[in-house]
Amino acid sequence: MTDKTLGQWAVDTHAGIYLRLMTWFDTDLIVAWRNSEQVRRNFVYQELFTREGHENWIRTMIETGKVVQMMICDLRGGRPLGSVYIRDIDRQHNKAEYGIFIGEPSARGRGVGTAAARLMLRYCFQEEKLHRIYLRAFSDNLQAIRSYEKAGFVREACLKDDVRIDGKYCDMIWMAAINPAREEQAGGGEMA
């Protein structure tokens, strides 16, 4: 059922999900999910997606290694439930931005997002050897913030009036997770 190239880290039997790499064949599903109001309203970029735009994303971001995007799939039957990704992968500073969306309404509110976030963090730390994974969430998206905290992200800041959506300024919560195996290598963070 799972993509054997990803390994055991990509499976959460308790949550009943696994991750596999996104392919071109997932394009129509990704576009439909991202254009649904339930998903779109939780993204800073709220323009409607197109097939052409997503195919360009694959060519310019996925295939160049600037982004790693995976599908969250149901362990029983392999049905895609959503997608998780890291973008803006910075090899100099060993960090990347995390993103997720649960496209299938039946998969929301039952721990799929939290489990997928844990799996993706494991991938980022073990396979990509990244030190820091960060994310931004709308401050009123309390369900997502709780899910991120359960997965291991910590709130670092509230960015006041950080983005403007439909003419209204919105606060963003900045969160991050540090690779526990590399935490001891982190500097004290003191500024000169």
CA–CA gap between residue 137 and residue 42 (Å, rounded) = 8
Q: What is the CB neighbour count within 10 angstroms for residue 82?
A: 23
Could you tell me the two tokens for 3?
A: 């993509």
**How much is the pLDDT for 167?**
93
pLDDT of 187 = 53
> Which of 128-154 are b and which e, b meaning 16 or more Cβ less than 10 Å from the residue's Cβ?
bebbbbbbbbbeebeebbebbeebbbe
Note the pLDDT of residue 48.
Answer: 86
What is the pLDDT, as a whole number, of residue 176? 98
pLDDT score of 45: 82
Residue 104: predicted pLDDT: 93
For residues 118 and 98, what is the distance between their CA atoms, to the nearest angstrom?
11
Q: What is the pLDDT along the chain (192 residues), one digit of tens a residue?
A: 444 446 667 999 999 999 999 999 999 999 999 888 887 787 888 788 899 999 999 999 999 999 999 999 999 999 999 999 999 999 999 999 999 999 999 999 889 999 999 999 999 999 999 999 999 999 999 999 999 999 999 999 999 999 999 999 999 999 999 999 865 455 554 444
**pLDDT attached to residue 182:** 66
**pLDDT score of 183:** 57
| Tokens 């939290």, residue located | 114
pTM of the model: 0.88
For residue 44, what pLDDT is reported?
Answer: 80
